[in-house]
Structure 1
Amino acid sequence: MASISIIGLGNMAKVLGDRAVAGGNTVEFVGRDTDKASTLARTVGGGSTAVSMDAAPSGDIVILAVPWQNAVPVVQQYGTALDGKIIIDISNTFDLSDYGGRHVAAETSVAQEIAEVTGDSTEVFKAFNTIFGAVLSRNEQLDALFAGNEGPAKDVVTSFIESLGLRAVYAGPLVMARVLEETGLLVMGLGRWGEKNYDFSLAVRRGTDV
């Protein structure tokens, strides 16, 4: 299993921490509010630890569970301390008040912007942004769409996703992260106007599933 650092202390951080611990991974929570981080680590249990934002993340996989506008600054804060690590960006980039589209340029994504400020040895992936936290919190096998470049890091991310009890569905290289961000917007639109609830997830049907 993997060592995981989750930067952020919100609902998605807890949900991913819960599933990561259940899957046998070690989890470290990183946040500006050290008391809240410690409380979250105790709640998740499984030997989870907590550190302040002043400490560099120790995990081999670093999950950015922060608002999209904070993702690049957080990565820049740590600089070379993230060299050789795998970063997973889970953010969505739209305004919940008006669903007016992503707040990044159409030809890029937050994950790609993160990759631009990291060293060559750091691999960046997009994942988990198309699954509602409330759905992810249930012990169900769901399809987790992810994007990132081919190579050994992709295999590590696939294994990590599968350790969470999810089915890893590869959407392609990192350029596809912008499509996953659009998919996150689609899912929110379906919840608000189509399904009129957020108790669902996207799934990929394969021939063997029919």
Structure 2
Amino acid sequence: MATISIIGSGNMGAAIAGLALAGGNDVQVVARDRAKAAATGADVTATGFGEPLVGDVVVLALPYPALDDVVATYGDQLAGRTVVDITNPLDFSTFDSLVVPADSSAAAELAAKVPGATVLKAFNTNFAATLASGTVDDVPTTVLVAGDDADAKAGFAAAFDGSGVRVVDAGSLARARELEALGFLQLTLAAGERTQWTTGFALL
């Protein structure tokens, strides 16, 4: 069991909070609207943005542009913790490109800004609906995780054991750029109504 802080109370934050609770973890949800944070689950600890983090694992369930605000607010507190970046760095004005260099990733940028933290990339290839249901069609939802610290990845996987999703090690943090490209493709397919927001890629 771990203590997990989730910054963000939108659809993804709520779905991840549900998985974390199902895995038997203590969960803190941090949001600008404390009432919205509380609505993510009766068993979570709801706090406002800027209040202290309690988790050993911190999930950033926010859009990519919000990461700088998180670093500015919580940078010192992130040191010594495992920080999970779920963002896809899209150009939301065009929905036609990523806004990080081709040889980098949002996760790599974040790791450079919080050198005292252990950064993992995860959940960015999942839609909230498939996290909440635990399935893609009739296949268990797969959460791909990338990072350079094997112990942190193992701890992340253990935290969600029993939640119904399958956690698969996708390699080093350098693989975050491929995960973000996959997340980008999935988002553009759904936005273009070629797939639905309740579907996703499955690993068989």
How many residue pairs match? The answer is 200
Matched, 1:3 2:26: no
The one-letter amino acid of 2:32's match is: R
Work out the CA distance in 2 between the residues paired with 1:201 and 1:83. 33
Partner of 1:71: 67
Contact preservation (8 Å) 2:121, 2:176: yes
Match of 1:208 in 2: none
* Aligned 1:95-174 pairs, distance under 5 A: 95-96=91-92, 98-120=94-116, 122-140=117-135, 141-174=140-173
Contact 1:72 1:113 in 2 (8 A): no
What is the Cα deviation at residue 112 of structure 1?
0.9
Q: TM-score, normalised by structure 2?
A: 0.89
Higher relative contact order (CA 8 A, sep 6+): 2
**8 Å Cα contact 2:4/2:25 also seen in 1:** yes
Q: 1: distance between equivalents of 2:162 and 2:184?
A: 26
5+ residue gaps in structure 2?
Answer: none
Q: Does the Cα contact within 8 Å between 1:71 and 1:110 map onto a contact in 2?
A: no
TM-score (norm 1): 0.87
Alpha-carbon distance between aligned partners in 2 of 1:77 and 1:147, rounded to the nearest angstrom: 25
What is the distance in 2 between the residues matched to 1:163 and 1:56? 28
State the identity %. 37
What amino acid maps onto 2:111 in structure 1?
Answer: A
**How many Å apart are 1:108 and its aligned residue?**
1.3
Query: Conserved in 2, the CA contact under 8 Å of 1:80 and 1:119?
Result: no
